[in-house]
Amino acid sequence: MLARPESFFEDRFGLTSSAMERLLGSQLAGRVDHADLFLEYRISEELTLEEGAVKKASRHVSQGAGIRAQSGERTGYAHTDDLALPNLEEAARQARAIADQRSASAAVAVGTGRPHDLYTLAEPPVTAALDRKVALLLEMDAAARALDPRVKQVIASLGSEDVIVLIATPSGFAVGDVRPLTRLNVTVIVEENGKREMGSYGGGGRVAFDFFLEADGQEERWRHFTSEAVRQATIKLHAVEAPAGEMTVVLGPGWPGILLHEAVGHGLEGDFNRKETSAFSGRMGKKVASELVTVVDDGTIANRRGSLNVDDEGIPTRRNVLIEKGILVGYMQDRLNARLMGAAPTGNGRRESYAYPPMPRMTNTFMLAGHDHPADIIKSVPRGLYAVNFGGGQVDITNGKFVFSTSEAYLIENGEITRPVKGATLIGNGPDALTRVSRVGHDLKMDEGVGTCGKDGQSVPVGVGLPTIRIDGITVGGTQV
440-479 positions binding another protein, by CB under 8 A: 475-479
Under the binding rule (CB under 8 A), the answer on residue 213 touching another protein is no
How many other CB atoms are found less than 10 A from the CB of residue 182?
28
- Give Cα 83 to chain centroid, integer Å: 29
Q: Which residue number, 12 or 371, has a Cβ lying nearer to another protein?
A: 12
Q: Which residue number, 55 or 286, has a Cβ lying nearer to another protein?
A: 55
Q: Which residue number, 33 or 298, has a Cβ lying nearer to another protein?
A: 33
Under the binding rule (CB under 8 A), the answer on residue 398 touching another protein is yes
Long-range contact pairs involving 192-196 (C-beta distance under 8 Å, separation at least 24): 192/150, 192/237, 195/237, 196/152
For residue 312, the minimal CB distance to another protein (Å) is 16
For residue 28, the minimal CB distance to another protein (Å) is 15
d(CA 202, CA 158): 10
* The one among 23, 24, 32, 54 contacting another protein by CB under 8 A: 54
Q: Which residue number, 303 or 398, has a Cβ lying nearer to another protein?
A: 398
Select the span of 169-177, 190-198, 217-225, 301-309 touching another protein (CB under 8 A). 190-198
Select the span of 272-280, 290-298, 374-382, 410-418 touching another protein (CB under 8 A). 272-280
Q: Which residue number, 385 or 444, has a Cβ lying nearer to another protein?
A: 385
Q: Which residue number, 349 or 370, has a Cβ lying nearer to another protein?
A: 349
* Subset of residues 343 to 362 that bind another protein, contact rule: CB under 8 A: 355, 357
CA dihedral (316, 322, 325, 326) in degrees, to 10, reads: 180
Q: Which residue number, 78 or 110, has a Cβ lying nearer to another protein?
A: 78
Contacts of 66 (CB under 8 A, 6+ apart): 37, 38, 40, 77, 78, 79, 351, 354, 355, 356, 357
Select the span of 14-22, 140-148, 310-318, 398-406 touching another protein (CB under 8 A). 398-406
Under the binding rule (CB under 8 A), the answer on residue 425 touching another protein is yes
Q: Which residue number, 46 or 220, has a Cβ lying nearer to another protein?
A: 46
Number of residues that bind another protein (CB under 8 A): 81
* Subset of residues 64 to 93 that bind another protein, contact rule: CB under 8 A: 64, 73-82, 87, 91
Under the binding rule (CB under 8 A), the answer on residue 363 touching another protein is no
d(CA 112, CA 100): 25
Under the binding rule (CB under 8 A), the answer on residue 200 touching another protein is no
Interaxial angle between packed helices 17-28 and 85-99, expressed in degrees from 0 to 180 and rounded to the nearest 10: 30
Q: Which of 310, 307, 311, 291 is nearest to 299 (CA)?
A: 307
DSSP per-residue letters across 109-172:
P------------SS-GGGS-HHHHHHHHHHHHHHHHHH-TTEEEEEEEEEEEEEEEEEE-TTS
d(CA 375, CA 114): 43
CB 351 within 8 A of CB 306: no
* The one among 18, 22, 26, 57 contacting another protein by CB under 8 A: 57
For residue 140, the minimal CB distance to another protein (Å) is 15
CB 314 within 8 A of CB 175: yes
For residue 118, the minimal CB distance to another protein (Å) is 27
d(CA 288, CA 435): 6
Q: Which residue number, 290 or 406, has a Cβ lying nearer to another protein?
A: 406
Select the span of 45-53, 109-117, 171-179, 295-303 touching another protein (CB under 8 A). 45-53
Number of H helices, E strands in the chain: 10, 25
* The one among 1, 10, 17, 46 contacting another protein by CB under 8 A: 46
Q: What are phi and psi of 350, to 5 degrees?
A: -130, 155
Helix (H) or strand (E) holding 40: strand 34-50
Q: Which residue number, 30 or 391, has a Cβ lying nearer to another protein?
A: 391
For residue 391, the minimal CB distance to another protein (Å) is 5
Select the span of 30-38, 213-221, 283-291, 416-424 touching another protein (CB under 8 A). 416-424
SS3 sequence, 377-427?
HHHCCCEEEEEEEEEEEEECCCCCEEEEEEEEEEEEECCEEEEEECCCEEE
Q: Report DSSP state, residue 51.
A: T
Under the binding rule (CB under 8 A), the answer on residue 415 touching another protein is no
* The one among 2, 107, 189, 417 contacting another protein by CB under 8 A: 189
For residue 357, the minimal CB distance to another protein (Å) is 7
Q: Are strands 401-413 and 383-395 parallel, antiparallel or unpaired?
A: antiparallel
* The one among 16, 429, 438, 458 contacting another protein by CB under 8 A: 429
* Subset of residues 299 to 318 that bind another protein, contact rule: CB under 8 A: none
Contacts of 341 (CB under 8 A, 6+ apart): 270, 273, 274, 331, 333
Query: What residue type is 78 in one-letter code?
Result: A
Under the binding rule (CB under 8 A), the answer on residue 246 touching another protein is yes
* Subset of residues 129 to 158 that bind another protein, contact rule: CB under 8 A: 130-131, 134, 152-153, 155
* The one among 126, 174, 279, 434 contacting another protein by CB under 8 A: 279
For residue 277, the minimal CB distance to another protein (Å) is 5
